[in-house]
Chain A
């Protein structure tokens, strides 16, 4: 039988579903242009493992990058980068040789205004 049935809830998305059809990858494109090797990330998690701020809580480096690659993160997620000490340990352990510290700096540069305008406490 044809026709749509209303099951009483919205199954179109919203909430937790990642909608790759409508993902905003503008920041990702800019970062890919700046750092070619960024696309080679295999999500091994060495960076997040060695990160001092990661162990302290607040910043999950790998997850943030993965999020950016999928779609533009929320302000809250972006602002976790403010915990980044720029120490560079992540760059030393990355098996793909990605300049992760430089990526942090690039993300900060490109999103500085966006974050500061909206989260003044940062």
Chain B
């Protein structure tokens, strides 16, 4: 009898083995391609870190995320349980199955199918010298039940996804459906096959044993055993053969991604291998769909990341990608932590129309040297009250300042970058950098988060500190350079995508808000997009208004008297759809400023001007 254990074989195992070998080879091939597709510096990061502590950390993350799906529990407990039970449950089945077979064969290396079909080769207590113990059987049954419970959730989710916390779930492609069917069949059939064997042999634990005895009581199980194991092997093979071509390839890919990411590799145009790996690691879980505000404004249009990733994987770039507002909400929600924003941006065609960026007029704006350089931003000229307010604040604070783009002819270059025109953006950057450095300023203050972000991320400005005007104003208040009266109203803050998620400036605006208003009634949700984004050029005005209205609705939850923004584009997006006043921080501060006489030598020199009309308006 031990003979069978030491030389286990039956033709049906060939199906599984073929599938497993295929998947294994394919995976190995992909890993090699991914590593080949890394830039030289990324390859260095890999080789330098692979034998460091980071590998252990990555292993920890693999357990936490790929097996236990900790992040998905944060979205919804049932959803987390569903993913965890399948992943962790299956992993434990394989692990314990392998321990079981190693324990009894005393061999570490044997054909891969042995532990998978162990119950077939070692059916139970009728072979007294056999390798069956109730102990192992119990644990196997427990984890099988665990997986099956998750499977039940998964089937339920297909029909009632809202109960698992997802308003919408990804619609599947044909290949995905085949793989899904195979996957869903694996465990029920395993249950049947093992139960049949246990029933025929009086073995098994609380699940397989009981089921087996139940069946054995009214049918003869012997002829059913082999066909069931054939079926089991077949569905496993079907799953493995389809896996590399479907979303399920994320199962082996995600751990690889976690390791490389831990070593410091990031998405970049120079490492297409890493981008491909990221795309393969997307499990199409669909958690990114609900946070996307366009899911409501443009239902049915497959803009969201889980669809986008598929189109890139299958090489079908479409115009739909131009609708994405690049707000980053999906990136924030992604349980795998994919760098969705850089991937999207890199996939936008390199237009390289060769922006000469006619820079006449941007040159030589210096003149005298002032400590602060104010860059309003091109959009801000369409909300002139922001400029007026900042002028008042600068003057009141007694700062020595200069208005760089007072004629509205400058641009920071980021809109070009967002549209894939990196050459043009760089050319502007070079010109502006030169001007900024030559101006002698120590501080660069801007009213636009888009400008702020590129000045911070891409511009090289040694000796100059870049601030968004909310940060600057907060400092002025804290240093008592200006005083404000607190308003008796309640205010809600709309966090601009480029300022909050985009640049990490989240606390200062809130602090400033609480100094200016009686109560901060900003709802506790992930920052919304106003719809005005430059990242989604393909959107129509009607869609943008719809997004703004939706966001306004959410922001009004705390019944604010006024909506405060920190971006001219956001202000322009909300003003037409808001019943309450929409104000930029600067306007609010200028309104509440307690005016006082300022020391003359610090005041900006004013030239002679025409007096304003006596009775105006």
- A and B assemble together: yes
Chain A interface (Cβ within 8 Å of chain B)? 34, 37, 50, 52-53, 55-59, 81-89, 92-93, 97, 99, 101-102, 105, 108-109, 112, 115-116, 122
CA distance A59 to B418 in the complex (A): 21
CA distance A116 to B421 in the complex (A): 15
Q: A50-B382, A85-B416, A102-B322 are in contact. List 18 more A-B contacts (CB 8 A).
A: A37-B540, A52-B378, A58-B356, A81-B353, A82-B355, A83-B356, A85-B428, A86-B534, A87-B415, A89-B379, A101-B534, A105-B537, A109-B349, A112-B351, A112-B352, A115-B354, A116-B352, A116-B353
Residue of B nearest to A59 (CB): B358
Contact at A115–B534, with CB atoms within 8 Å? no
- Interface residues of chain A: helix, strand, loop or mixed (majority): helix
Contact of B378 among A34, A89, A105 (CB under 8 A): A89
Residue of B nearest to A100 (CB): B537
| Most chain B beta-carbon neighbours within 10 Å: one of A52, A58, A81, A101 | A52
Chain B interface (Cβ within 8 Å of chain A)? 319, 322, 349, 351-362, 378-379, 381-382, 407-411, 413, 415-416, 418-419, 421, 424, 428, 534, 537-542, 569, 572
Contact at A83–B355, with CB atoms within 8 Å? yes
Residue of B nearest to A97 (CB): B541
Contact at A99–B539, with CB atoms within 8 Å? yes
Q: Decide: A102 near B541, CB < 8 A? Known: A82-B353, A83-B358, A89-B382.
A: no
For the complex of A and B, 10 pairs with smallest distance between CB atoms: A97-B541, A83-B358, A102-B537, A108-B353, A122-B354, A58-B358, A85-B411, A56-B361, A86-B415, A52-B409
Taking CB atoms, residues of chain A closer than 8 Å to B351 are 105, 108-109, 112
Q: Decide: A55 near B409, CB < 8 A? Known: A37-B540, A81-B353, A105-B419.
A: yes
Taking CB atoms, residues of chain A closer than 8 Å to B360 are 56-58
Enumerate 27 A-B pairs (CB-CB under 8 Å) in ascending A order.
A34-B319, A50-B382, A56-B362, A57-B361, A81-B353, A82-B353, A82-B357, A83-B355, A84-B355, A85-B355, A85-B357, A85-B415, A86-B418, A86-B419, A87-B378, A87-B411, A87-B415, A89-B379, A92-B379, A97-B542, A102-B537, A102-B538, A105-B322, A108-B353, A109-B351, A112-B351, A122-B356
Residue of B nearest to A58 (CB): B358
Contact of A55 among B407, B424, B540, B541 (CB under 8 A): B407
CA distance A18 to B409 in the complex (A): 33
Taking CB atoms, residues of chain A closer than 8 Å to B379 are 87-89, 92
Minimal beta-carbon separation of A82 from chain B (angstroms) = 5
Q: Decide: A112 near B353, CB < 8 A? Known: A88-B415, A92-B379.
A: yes
| Most chain A beta-carbon neighbours within 10 Å: one of B354, B359, B419, B421 | B354
Taking CB atoms, residues of chain A closer than 8 Å to B362 are 56
CA distance A75 to B359 in the complex (A): 21
Contact at A52–B408, with CB atoms within 8 Å? yes
Residue of B nearest to A53 (CB): B358
CA distance A108 to B505 in the complex (A): 34
CA distance A92 to B522 in the complex (A): 27
Taking CB atoms, residues of chain A closer than 8 Å to B357 are 53, 82-83, 85
Taking CB atoms, residues of chain B closer than 8 Å to A52 are 378, 408-411
Taking CB atoms, residues of chain A closer than 8 Å to B359 are 56
Contact at B382–A92, with CB atoms within 8 Å? yes
Taking CB atoms, residues of chain B closer than 8 Å to A57 are 358, 360-361
Residue of B nearest to A102 (CB): B537
Minimal beta-carbon separation of A68 from chain B (angstroms) = 15
Minimal beta-carbon separation of B304 from chain A (angstroms) = 20
Contact at A99–B572, with CB atoms within 8 Å? no
Taking CB atoms, residues of chain B closer than 8 Å to A93 are 382
Minimal beta-carbon separation of A96 from chain B (angstroms) = 9
Minimal beta-carbon separation of B302 from chain A (angstroms) = 18
CA distance A81 to B319 in the complex (A): 21
Taking CB atoms, residues of chain B closer than 8 Å to A97 are 540-542
Residue of A nearest to B410 (CB): A52
Taking CB atoms, residues of chain B closer than 8 Å to A53 are 357-358
Taking CB atoms, residues of chain B closer than 8 Å to A105 are 322, 351, 419, 537
CA distance A84 to B351 in the complex (A): 12
Taking CB atoms, residues of chain A closer than 8 Å to B413 are 85
Minimal beta-carbon separation of A90 from chain B (angstroms) = 11
Taking CB atoms, residues of chain A closer than 8 Å to B378 are 52, 85, 87, 89
Contact at A86–B416, with CB atoms within 8 Å? yes
CA distance A35 to B416 in the complex (A): 20
Contact at B541–A99, with CB atoms within 8 Å? yes
CA distance A82 to B421 in the complex (A): 11
Q: Decide: A99 near B538, CB < 8 A? Known: A52-B411, A85-B416, A89-B378.
A: yes
Residue of B nearest to A107 (CB): B353
CA distance A57 to B363 in the complex (A): 14
CA distance A85 to B418 in the complex (A): 11
